[in-house]
């Protein structure tokens, strides 16, 4: 790295944006295909073809998220020790390979085996890749960069959900999942190997955002303030914030059920895939919007904006009565609000606990959140199977988001005062 302590990394094009583009392509290839709304498009056709319930197929998400929770601490350790290019390429191989295996096995057990393989791969990509890698590369505009990169899971879904619907209609669900798994795996592996770097020092740079004449050592010291992991565990505010993150994850888990929601109110499978596509477009818009809000106003205001989007989404869906346009609008708003699942928790942790041991503290929060997702997915599916409607459970989930905001109004500022003096 250059020894010039006053480098202006705002001048010219900074390689951090190339790393962000790499993260975007990886999110398109992995999360866009095997998570979110795209995976929901497969569930009903697979359940019907295999003669089983949607609840049985939705256990894929439970198993996958449990495996993610187990392997996320491993992922945090591996990111610290090994080259990010090889780490993420291998993770992407597991994601694509798991999808292909599900199609080849053509059984309920195949979904569960694929869930384990995908869970290991996604533990490195879903919640850890962007917060850890982009946090290294961006001193300024982190929220915008993270929002753009995270939004690409929605972009991938918007691209692939209608393709999946057409492939299922013209072939079958097994062919569709194998084709999209192969395409997504190839995109992600090549992007990881060619574009990613772990930190700016790998390219002889400082993080994006240092101003002209600013002392790099001083800014670096400012960037590494915060609570240690041990201090965080001693603080009651840490646990209050963790509870709020659990509530965010519970609401965000609804996104994979948006296709089933559309089918439950009378939409055919092909139209339900378009609903999923609209939700994914909403994810793109929501994550960019929330990232922009975070850079301007901070993590607490970002959560407040997310709650407003949640209320708009749930009210629109609950009052839609299956009408086409309200369901389309509500699904788009679900996507915008579900952007909070990936973006808001790391920003809340970073803003309240600081950067000193951010990776470790956020790793704990993400692991607990993933465990909540594992419980949430079958709850949503079981309530649909039992009642034929999602309205009650999504209303409860929206109430949980309001409670998450209240908890952060209590704890966020007080936690920050422990280190930001």
402-421 mean pLDDT: 94
pLDDT tens, position by position, 164-193 = 888 888 888 999 999 989 999 999 999 999
Domains within the chain, CATH numbers bracketed: 16-205+217-417 (1.20.1250.20)
CA 171 to chain centre: 30
Classified as helix, coil or strand, 354 is: strand
The DSSP annotation for 94-144 comes to HHHHHHHHHHHH-SHHHHHHHHHHHHHHHHHHTTTHHHHHHHHHBSSSHHH
Angle at which helix 299-318 crosses helix 324-338, to 10 degrees, equals 160
User: What pLDDT was estimated at residue 417?
Assistant: 93
- Asked if 62 contacts 377 with a C-beta cutoff of 8 angstroms, the reply is yes
**Percent of the chain residues past pLDDT 90, beyond the cut:** 43
Angle at which helix 54-81 crosses helix 84-105, to 10 degrees, equals 160
Tokens, residue 273: 């895939």
90-104 mean pLDDT: 94
Tokens, residue 114: 């694929």
Confidence at 214, pLDDT banded by 50, 70, 90: low
- Asked if 337 contacts 310 with a C-beta cutoff of 8 angstroms, the reply is yes
- Asked if 112 contacts 59 with a C-beta cutoff of 8 angstroms, the reply is yes
pLDDT tens, position by position, 104-153 = 999 999 999 999 999 999 999 988 899 889 988 988 888 899 989 988 87
> In sequence order, which residues have a C-beta less than 8 Å from that of residue 161 and are 6 or more positions away?
37, 38, 41, 259, 273, 274, 276, 277, 280
296-313 mean pLDDT: 93
Q: How far apart are alpha carbons 341 and 143 in whole angstroms? A: 14
The DSSP annotation for 239-270 comes to HHHHHHHHHHHHHHGGGGGHHHHHHHTT--HH
DSSP state of 12: S
In 3-state terms the chain splits into helix, strand, coil percentages (rounded to 5) of: 80, 0, 15
Dihedral angle sign, alpha carbons of residues 392, 393, 395, 396: positive
On the question of pLDDT at 332 being above 90, the answer is yes
User: What pLDDT was estimated at residue 211?
Assistant: 65
Q: How far apart are alpha carbons 158 and 273 in whole angstroms? A: 9
Q: Name the more confident of 331 and 355.
A: 331
Q: Name the more confident of 162 and 172.
A: 172
Predicted TM-score (pTM) of the model is 0.77
On the question of pLDDT at 154 being above 60, the answer is yes
Q: Name the more confident of 125 and 260.
A: 125
């Amino acid at each position: 790295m250059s020894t010039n302590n006053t480098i202006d990394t705002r001048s010219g094009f900074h390689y951090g944006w190339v790393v962000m583009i790499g993260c975007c392509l990886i999110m398109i290839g992995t999360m866009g295909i095997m998570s979110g709304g795209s995976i929901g498009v497969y569930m009903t056709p697979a359940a019907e073809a295999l003669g089983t319930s949607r609840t049985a197929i939705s256990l894929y998400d439970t198993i996958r998220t449990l495996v993610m929770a187990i392997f996320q601490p491993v992922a945090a350790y591996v990111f610290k020790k090994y080259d990010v290019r090889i780490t993420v390429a291998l993770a992407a191989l597991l994601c694509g390979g798991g999808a292909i295996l599900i199609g080849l096995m053509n059984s309920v057990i195949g979904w569960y085996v694929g869930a384990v393989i995908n869970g290991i791969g996604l533990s490195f990509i879903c919640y850890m890749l962007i917060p850890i890698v982009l946090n290294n590369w961006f001193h300024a505009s982190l929220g915008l960069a993270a929002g753009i990169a995270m939004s690409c899971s929605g972009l991938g879904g918007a691209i692939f959900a209608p393709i999946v619907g057409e492939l299922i209609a013209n072939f079958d669900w097994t062919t569709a999942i194998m084709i999209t798994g192969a395409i997504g795996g190839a995109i992600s592996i090549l992007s990881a190997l060619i574009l990613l770097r772990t930190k700016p020092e790998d390219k002889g740079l400082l993080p994006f955002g240092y101003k002209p004449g600013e002392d790099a050592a001083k800014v670096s010291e400012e960037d590494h303030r915060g609570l240690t992991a041990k201090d965080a565990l001693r603080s009651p505010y840490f646990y209050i914030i963790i509870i709020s993150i659990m509530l965010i994850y519970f609401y965000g888990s609804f996104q994979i059920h948006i296709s089933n929601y559309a089918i439950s109110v009378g939409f055919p499978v092909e139209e339900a895939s378009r609903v999923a596509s609209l939700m994914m477009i909403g994810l793109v818009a929501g994550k960019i919007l929330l990232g922009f809000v975070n850079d301007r106003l901070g993590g607490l205001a970002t959560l407040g904006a997310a709650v407003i989007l949640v209320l708009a989404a749930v009210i629109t869906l609950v009052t839609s009565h299956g009408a086409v346009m309200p369901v389309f609008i509500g699904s788009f708003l679900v996507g915008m609000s579900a952007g909070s699942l990936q973006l808001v928790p790391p920003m809340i942790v970073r803003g309240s606990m600081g950067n000193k041991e951010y990776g470790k503290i956020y790793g704990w929060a993400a692991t607990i959140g993933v465990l909540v997702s594992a419980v949430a997915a079958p709850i949503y599916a079981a309530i649909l199977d039992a009642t034929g409607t999602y309205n009650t459970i999504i209303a409860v989930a929206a109430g949980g988001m309001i409670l998450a905001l209240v908890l952060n109004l209590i704890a966020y500022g007080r936690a920050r005062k422990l280190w930001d003096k």
